[in-house]
Amino acid sequence: MSISLTFKETMSGYFTLGVTDPAEGAKAGKQNNTQLAMHAKVSLDDLDRFLSDPNHLGSLTGTVDFPPFGTGIAANSGVFNLFKPTNDPDMTYMVYELAFQHQGQDYYLAGHKNVKDDPGFDLWSDTTTLYTCLHQGKDKHGPIVGAGILTLGVKQLADLISTIKVPGATSLAEKAHAIEKFGAFFAGKLWDSYVIPKFGKQLLDKSHDETLHYDVIVIGSGFGGAITGCRLAEKGLKVCILERGRRWEVKDYPRDPKNAWWWSNEKPAELNGWIDLRTYPNMSVAQCSGVGGGSLIYANIFVEAEPFVFDMGWPKEITYESLKPYYEKTGKMLNVQEVPDNQWPAKMKLMQEAAEKSGYSNRFRKMPLAVNFDPDFSYDRADPFGNQHTKYHINAFGQEQGTCVHCGNCDIGCPVKARNTLDLNYIPLAEQHGAVVRPLHLVQRITPLQSGTGYRVDFNVIDIDRKKLAPGFLNAKKVIVAAGTMGTNELLLRCRDQYGTLPNLSSVLGTGWSSNGDFLTPAVFNNRDISPTQGPTITSAIDFLDGSFKGQRFWVQDGGLPNLIKDAVTGLSTDHQYGHFFSILQNLVKNNNPLSCVMPWFGQAVDASDGVLTLSRSRIPPFRHKMQLNWNIKNSEGAVQALIDMHKELSKATGGAAEVPLTWTVLKNLITPHPLGGCRIGTSSIDGVVDHKGEVFGHPGLYIADGSIIPKAIGLNPSRTIAALAERIAELIKP
């Protein structure tokens, strides 16, 4: 059912009969002290249509006060439209028109507000100044008999807000949602900078229900969310985990181009798939969406950070030694193991050979992987990668899992559940202790309860089949935000700067963002079979984190490509900022130089961690807020280049040719699966967003437990450090 919305608005100002230009009419009206007031009731019969279709008009009725004619003159018809497109692409009109009669004569009062997207854009005056003409007759084709300028003052705006009604809303939450939607559209920045700080709480409070539904609400179910949710449920707390993505089953993993690959926070009803790929100037960020978060997509590397990481930039309570017990706990939970010596894929052998031939044998490391291996697996079998070779068993959490068949599809979901993803350990354990997991719940806002007893969490529930969203909310004593680095920063920036519900969040929110220096360099090895589509996606590393190469800290890993990549590569669009990289892959496939000859050297580096996330309004209607990343490669270029130089050196030592993508050599564009920071852990709100226990400065009972609290790059895969911090945060929360 469509939702309608009504409000009352009074605009008044100087007005004169006998002139045709509003500015002239206002001037003369001021001299003669003649004013006109329009008391309008605006009705929008279908809010969503009104906001999306410029031709769908609202209706206007009301009264007019104009002393030369009288006061309280009834006006029974009229139109209201926001943002009517004009011939000037940078300008839109807001239209107010009202028909009335005086002494048997029809009059038509027609006003428009200019909303201009110029650098000196002043929304307050743009949205509150109505250039108005009085026409004789039933519409604005009649001759102009008077003109002036009407304005909406601060007091009238306050009155307007208090008159908003949402007749079609079936719940208080739906009503609040509709008001918020309309308000942002109606007033753009004005809504954020004036209405929300002044009236936000009052508006939201209209739908306040202070019932505490849970002890703890956890937002997100990746490493931070699944672990804190599980441990707090084990302590006997009533826990609810809200996850925006699906609860994926093996049968639903995306495989075909028609499947649910993409996630979009802007269009969650339509795009609610596996990968959330966000593109910013010079940087793209990939994250997964689903119950289990990044563990669903990750390459299984579950490795501890090196002790030097904690030497600077962390509160004194957090050191490598203090985290060690938690690192161990997480390693046990995810049952980490190395690829058994009898089943190294070719790329792992190349890694070892490259290290040896370049004089770096002592830096070669087998990686701890969250994967179950079968000691009897063999590459020498016919069809070694078939699912029939897996050995199924029930794990310690009652879940069925198989053993690895080296199919290479780790990043797109393991067909035999050999990977120890969080939906197979921490999450079922949480559920066994009473935690409730709600997939397809995209959290929008966190608001402190008026009673001071906790927080309200507003979300949209995604109905995949009907492609619809339904608003809802839940309250809890404590809230743990674990929506991943991008998700958490976005949510908290919105709560501070868009909704004004968490005004005490530190001013350093969004700063100190890091890409963790990730880079992938494909290298071609003629006459050598590397087969990067075989075996777990990453198996080993060559460690330069001691800073001995060009003074930069980094480590190199073997990358892997999903088995189905060959087919997908052919269909990839090169009309994209990563087009050059895609076209290298396409040429390899086309020229019968198959991917089996490609080594995707991968790795991470300690970058400058100086990116800044902010929330800004689009300058054109409907003025949506979007999170922006301000990233400059300048201070990180040395670290990334050192990693690439090592990729080249290792390729050369083993007879390969590194093909550094133009996206780097020319554009210095990066893509990262390891975003970190923005809500860094600190000692006070001056240098951090949370304290060492993960609690948000200025908002007691609100916690953050995910990659966003990591204060700087760690130069290797981060999930185990995030997991260890989450274990620690959960342990320190008192029931």
717 binds, among ligand FAD, ligand SF4, none (CB under 5 to 8 A by kind): ligand FAD
284 contacts ligand FAD (rule: CB under 6 A): no
The site partner of 406 among ligand FAD, ligand SF4, none (C-beta below 5 to 8 Å per kind) is: ligand SF4
Alpha carbon distances (Å) from 595 to 345, 409, 417, 561, 567:
15, 15, 26, 9, 11
Q: Which does residue 3 touch among ligand SF4, ligand FAD, none (CB within 5 to 8 A, set by kind)? A: none
Select the residue interacting with ligand SF4 from 11, 333, 371, 476 (CB under 6 A): 371
Q: Which is nearer to ligand FAD, 92 or 221 (CB)?
A: 221
Q: Counting contacts by CB under 6 A, is residue 406 touching ligand SF4? A: yes
Out of 112, 135, 244, 478, name the contact with ligand FAD by CB under 6 A. Answer: 244
Using the minimum distance from each CB to ligand SF4, give the nearer residue, 232 or 404.
404
User: Among 602, 599, 603, 604, which Cα is nearest to 585's?
Assistant: 599
Binding track over 689-728 against ligand SF4, x by CB under 6 A: ----------------------------------------
Among ligand SF4, ligand FAD, none, what binds residue 298 when CB lies within 5 to 8 Å by partner kind?
Answer: ligand FAD
Structure tokens at 712: 């700087």
Cα separation, 621 vs 115, in Å, equals 9
Residue 432, SS3 per DSSP: helix
| Cβ closest to ligand FAD, residue 25 vs residue 682 | 682
Q: Rounded to an integer, what distance in angstroms lies between the CA atom of residue 175 and that of residue 134?
A: 36
> What character string, x for contact with ligand FAD (CB under 6 A) and - otherwise, covers 466-505?
----------------xxxx-x---x--------------
Residue number, 216 or 297, with CB nearest to ligand SF4: 297
Looking at residue 15, its amino acid is F
Question: Three-class SS string for 213-265?
Answer: CEEEEEECCCHHHHHHHHHHHHCCCCEEEECCCCCCCHHHCCCCCCCCCEECC
Q: Which stretch binds ligand SF4 (CB under 6 A): 406-414, 494-502, 583-591, 639-647?
A: 406-414
Please report how close the Cβ of residue 221 comes to ligand SF4 at its closest, in angstroms: 20
Interaction partner, residue 543 (ligand FAD, ligand SF4, none; CB < 5-8 Å by kind): none
Per DSSP, the three-state class of 370 is coil
Q: What is the DSSP letter of 612?
A: E
Window 433 to 472, contacts with ligand FAD (CB under 6 A) = 441-443
CB 188 within 8 A of CB 686: no
Please choose, out of 152-160, 171-179, 221-229, 695-703, the segment that lies near ligand FAD by the rule CB under 6 A: 221-229
Residue 500: which of ligand FAD, ligand SF4, none does it interact with, CB under 5 to 8 A by kind? none
φ, ψ at 40 (rounded to 5°): -110, 145
Residue among 22, 78, 200, 224 that touches ligand FAD (CB under 6 A): 224
Half-sphere exposure of 215 (CA within 13 A, CB side): 15
Q: Minimum distance between the CB of residue 284 and ligand SF4, rounded to whole angstroms?
A: 24
Task: Look at residues 553, 548, 703 and name the one whose alpha carbon lies nearest to residue 218.
Answer: 703
Which amino acid appears at position 132 of this protein?
T
By CB under 6 A, the residues from 514 to 553 that bind ligand SF4 are 536
The Cα–Cα gap between 345 and 347 comes to 6
Q: Give yes or no for residue 561 binding ligand SF4 (CB under 6 A).
A: no
Minimal distance, residue 255 CB to ligand SF4, in Å:
12
Instruction: Tell which positions 714-733 bind ligand FAD, by CB under 6 A.
Output: 717-719, 722
Footprint (CB under 6 A) of ligand FAD, residues 161-180: none
Restricting to residues 643-702, name those near ligand FAD by CB under 6 A.
Answer: 673-674
Decide if residue 334 touches ligand SF4 (CB under 6 A): no
716: nearest Cα among 114, 306, 182? 306
Q: Among ligand SF4, ligand FAD, none, what does residue 126 contact (CB within 5–8 Å per kind)?
A: none
Distance, CA of 614 to CA of 612 (rounded, Å): 6
Query: Does 299 contact ligand FAD by CB under 6 A?
Result: yes
Give the whole-angstrom CA distance, residue 731 versus residue 135.
72
**Which residue type, as a one-letter code, is found at position 130?**
L
Q: Is position 558 an interface residue for ligand FAD (rule: CB under 6 A)?
A: no
- Neighbouring C-beta atoms of residue 210, cutoff 10 Å: 12
CA dist 660 and 519 (Å) reads 10
Query: Residue written as tokens 């490795």?
Result: 303
404 binds, among ligand SF4, ligand FAD, none (CB under 5 to 8 A by kind): ligand SF4
288 binds ligand SF4 (CB under 6 A): no
- In the bound complex, what is the minimum distance in angstroms from residue 607's beta carbon to ligand FAD? 15
- By CB under 6 A, name the one of 169, 178, 204, 219 that touches ligand FAD: 219
Q: Which partner, ligand SF4, ligand FAD, none, binds residue 600 by CB below 5 to 8 Å per kind? A: none
Distance in angstroms (rounded) separating the CA atoms of residues 506 and 510: 9
For position 707 contacting ligand FAD by CB under 6 A, the verdict is yes
- Do the beta carbons of residue 633 and residue 667 sit within 8 Å? no
Yes or no: say if 615 and 625 are a contact pair by the CB < 8 Å rule: yes
Distance between CA 363 and CA 542 in Å, rounded?
A: 5
The CA distance from 553 to 558, in Å, is 17
Query: Which tokens belong to 45?
Result: 């019969």
Q: Which is nearer to ligand SF4, 408 or 428 (CB)?
A: 408
Q: What are the angstrom distances between the C-alpha of 57 and each of 62, 142, 485, 495, 635?
A: 16, 21, 41, 32, 52
Nearer of residues 241 and 412 to ligand SF4, judged by Cβ:
412
Following CA atoms 311, 312, 315, 321 in sequence, which dihedral angle do they give, to the nearest 10 degrees? -10
Q: Binding-site residue total for ligand SF4 (CB under 6 A)?
A: 13
Closer to ligand SF4 by CB, 370 or 440: give it.
370
407-426 footprint of ligand SF4 as x/- string (CB under 6 A): xxxx---x-x-xx-------
Handedness of CA 726, 727, 732, 735 (dihedral sign): positive
166 binding partner (options ligand SF4, ligand FAD, none; Cβ < 5 to 8 Å by kind): none
Integer Cα distance of 474 and 481 in angstroms? 14
Cβ distance to ligand SF4 smaller for residue 340 or 547: 340
> How many beta carbons lie within 10 A of that of residue 527, not counting itself?
6
- Piece in contact with ligand FAD (CB under 6 A), picked from 24-32, 295-303, 524-532, 622-630: 295-303
Pairwise CA distance, residues 377 & 381, whole Å: 9
Of 31-39, 68-76, 298-306, 318-326, which segment contacts ligand FAD by CB under 6 A? 298-306
Q: Enter the tokens of residue 732.
A: 């320190």
CB of 542 to ligand SF4, least distance (A): 21
Total residues belonging to the chain:
735
- Minimum distance, C-beta of residue 457 to ligand SF4, in the bound complex (Å): 34
What is the smallest separation between the CB atom of 572 and ligand FAD, expressed in angstroms?
Answer: 16
- The structure tokens listed for 119 are 């650098």
Element (H, E) at 111: strand 105-116
Looking at residue 352, the DSSP 8-state letter turns out to be: H
Query: Does 287 interact with ligand FAD (rule: CB under 6 A)?
Result: yes
| Cis, bond preceding 622 (omega within 30 deg of 0) | yes
- Taking the complex as a whole, the smallest distance from the CB of residue 375 to ligand SF4 amounts, in Å, to 14
Among 273, 294, 402, 621, interactor with ligand FAD by CB under 6 A? 294
Q: Is 158 exposed, middle or buried (0-12, 13-18, 19+ CB in 10 A)?
A: middle
Residues in the site for ligand FAD, rule: CB under 6 A? 219-225, 242-245, 286-290, 293-294, 297-301, 411, 441-443, 482-485, 487, 491, 538, 673-674, 706-707, 717-719, 722
Binding site for ligand SF4 (CB under 6 A): 371, 404-410, 414, 416, 418-419, 536
